[in-house]
Chain A
Amino acid sequence: MASQDITPVGRDSAKVSILYDPKIRGYIFQAVAVLVIAGFGYWIVNNTITNLQRARLASGFGFLDGRSGFDISSSPYLTYSSDSTYLQALWVGILNTLTVAFVGIITATIIGFIIGIGRLSHNWLIRKICTVYVEVFRNVPPLLVIFFWYSGVLSVLPQARQSIGLPFNTFLNNRGFFFPAPVFGDGAWLAGVGLLVGIAGTFLVRRWAYKRQMATGQQFPVGWTALGLIVGLPLLALAVKGFPLSFDYPVLGAFNLKGGMQVGPEFMSLYLALSFYTASFIAEIVRAGIRGVGKGQSEAAHALGLRAGPTTRLVVVPQAMRIIIPPLTSQYLNLTKNSSLAVAIGYPDLVAVGGTILNQTNRSIEVVAIWLVVYLSISVLTSLFMNWFNAKMALVER
């Protein structure tokens, strides 16, 4: 047998002791290493839990069912009062964090794209203004940007009695931005149906127009049709029902404007600060992405007869997106995490509400664990979504 041929002379060729078999030895070492690490981990965790229990620091999550006893200034989605539980208070905080992160991401993306493209403009003034914007916001800590909006801009607005009146019965004072709240009467549901039908119709029209263009080369004004469908159908529905829609206008009460809807200065400053701050980074990412697309691409598009607009929209941007999306994900995660700076201006986000709960119940370990888990989950979900989006935008090789 071949294997026997290479066995050194003078050894028992049939059996090598298991201890000396390099493969088995490898397994043994690996197993020992795993056991040691697992044992160390177990010892640390066990030791900590014992110590925490001795110090009466950790006692599980049962306290979350207790009555919170404190009020939260802003709870747009859930009914919350001091009779609600700590768990409900946490949900209010989580939703507030998600709200500011969501609208912040959208606004930051829009501003970022405008500034990023502006930095590549042929117009000297636009280019320089965008450069100054990026350099200013990129080089200032986000907390200072938040303070700038909160103390520098919003708190110097006039008192409630001298509110600044804006068009459409909206008002601005140092307690926030006030606008009329729509009150839907009987039959207003038809407008909602109209909106849904409009959105569905838009999708169908787009598909049909794409197919027609592929087949005949003729284009169809999809944008205008969509606008007509989405705005027109609900309006038509309202007209049919005799406009069952009224508005609740903000009026001056004893202390402040009453009625209508309001957005507090805490939310506004956090939202504006996060959007403006993150937009400066997004602008640089967008600029890098567009510069990353070879010049030959747009030259080729021009040679084929495409005008500047369609060249940017159909040739440059789709390729730039592949460069832009991965670093954009990091910026979205940063914005979400930076929203925890809300605690400095009293916006009831997850950290602020959690901090209050921590102090009222003295369950620091549990609350910190909840913070970690929630932020981790939000970040992982954002990453998953962006990875999916990235895969969708990635180069499809034929």
Chain B
Amino acid sequence: MKNIVLKGALAASALVLLANAASAATLDDVKKKGFLQCGVNTGLAGFASPNDKGEWSGFDVDYCRAVAAAIFGDGTKVKFTPLSAKDRLPALQSGEIDVLIRNTTWTLSRDEQGFDFPGVNYYDGQGFMINSKKLSGINSALQLSGASVCVQAGTTTELNLADYFKANKMEYNPVVFEKLEEVNAAYDSGRCDAYTTDQSGLYSIRLTLSAPDDHVVLPEIISKEPLGPAVRQGDSQWADVVRWTHYALLTAEELGITKANVEELSKGDSPEVKRVLGQEAGTKLGTDLGLTNDWVVNIIKAVGNYGEIFDKNIGAGSPLKIARGINAQWSKGGLQYAMPIR
């Protein structure tokens, strides 16, 4: 019985799958299509959120624009698909989107199940947020035994939460929603005592609550959450485009190439800067990647370097004011380290 129905279901989805079958050469498809289809969060302030005119902005959104600029020389040739945590990986797998840049944690099981993670654009960790006005005595996650905890369904967060409470022999009541907005609303209405997700997310969500100052993020970080773009497995050319776009953003910051001075520097005579910006005589770095030789110039012109993107969306220049912390350049004690562009 089960087998028959399964086969029936498979047959029914056959036509859809055949039509959407992920082709191997994503870069060619994207070029032919004329735009990049980028999967982003449904609305996480600072990372990906639309404004009242429907224009997207945020840290992850700028990464989408950077990839589009690398391919087309134009950061606006990108369309955004907002995805819930549950829908994001199937959307990538089915070919609905070309690249997923949506606070997605790089894990072994995801890597092994048909995805590739070209890099880590934000090193994060899971934390807890509580209403300090209502729960004034609590200043550690270890005091949360017996609490109701709001969490988004189908995330690594949900699993870390279960592990953390079990390891510390504490009890809790999970309140699980599929959509981020639903979790936010439930927490804001007092349905839960605590909210758990990546710390960057907590800072971002806090801004959207009715009284942001009443809420504090507890100090404990209970997991490693390396967030990064994801692509389908088996297309190393496409993975390379995304990977080196990330490294280009980091390298530009290292070399002091900014949105403002990129034009000027490309005419300068520093050999390293000239090589990165594709001004070296007879260079084939860009074309070998399947792009044009001025791809880095295009990226920086469109969105700026890594530091600029960080500052504008989530860092000092934004309402979130997240410190660079472990996301600083390796030379400044952080973990962001670009492989050499040469």
Contact = CB atoms under 8 A, between A and B. Distances in A.
B11 A44 contact: yes
A82 B174 CA distance: 11
Contact of A346 (B7, B114, B175): B175
A376 B191 CA distance: 34
Given A362-B113, A373-B5, A159 B162 contact: no
B1 A373 contact: yes
Nearest to B134: A159
Interface stretch (B54-62, B145-153, B313-321, B333-341): B145-153
Contacts of B162: 69-71, 82
B278 to A, nearest CB: 36
B189 interface: yes
Contacts of A327: none
Interface string B148-188: 10000111001101110110000011111110001001100
Contacts of A256: 146-148, 173, 193
B14 A174 contact: no
A69 B304 CA distance: 41
Given A253-B146, A365-B10, A346 B18 contact: no
A358 B163 contact: no
B11 A48 contact: yes
Given A258-B146, A360-B159, A365 B86 contact: no
Contacts of B177: 345-346
A358 B154 contact: yes
Contacts of B93: 55, 57, 362, 364
A55 B14 contact: no
Interface in B1-30: 1-2, 5-7, 9-11, 13-14, 17-18, 21-22
B176 A356 contact: yes
Nearest to A173: B190
Chain A interface size range: 35 or more
A364 B7 CA distance: 14
A297 to B, nearest CB: 45
Contacts of B6: 365-366, 369, 373
Contacts of B328: none
Contacts of A56: 113-114, 233
Nearest to B189: A155
A86 to B, nearest CB: 12
B190 A58 contact: no
A308 to B, nearest CB: 49
A151 interface: yes
Interface in A56-70: 56-58, 69-70
B178 A45 contact: no
Interface residues of B, number: 54
Given A48-B17, A346-B186, A369 B178 contact: no
A359 B89 contact: yes
Contacts of B2: 369, 373
A41 B11 contact: yes
A47 B16 CA distance: 12
B271 interface: no
Interface centre among B5, B22, B110, B165 (most CB of A within 10 A): B5
A155 B193 CA distance: 14
Interface in A104-162: 151, 155-156, 159
A289 interface: no
Nearest to A344: B182
A68 to B, nearest CB: 9
A368 B175 contact: no
Interface string A365-386: 1101100110010000000000
A364 B113 CA distance: 12
A52 B86 contact: no
B174 A73 contact: yes
A73 B159 contact: no
A286 interface: no
B110 A362 contact: yes
Interface in B92-119: 93, 109-110, 113-114
A359 B85 contact: yes
A254 interface: yes
Contacts of A48: 10-11, 13-14, 17-18
A356 B113 contact: no
Contact of A72 (B1, B114, B174): B174
Given A47-B18, A344-B182, A355-B178, A362 B89 contact: yes
B90 interface: yes
Nearest to B4: A373
11 contacts: A56-B114, A57-B114, A70-B158, A73-B174, A254-B145, A256-B148, A346-B177, A346-B182, A360-B159, A365-B6, A376-B5
* 3 closest A-B pairs by CB: A359-B154, A82-B162, A48-B14
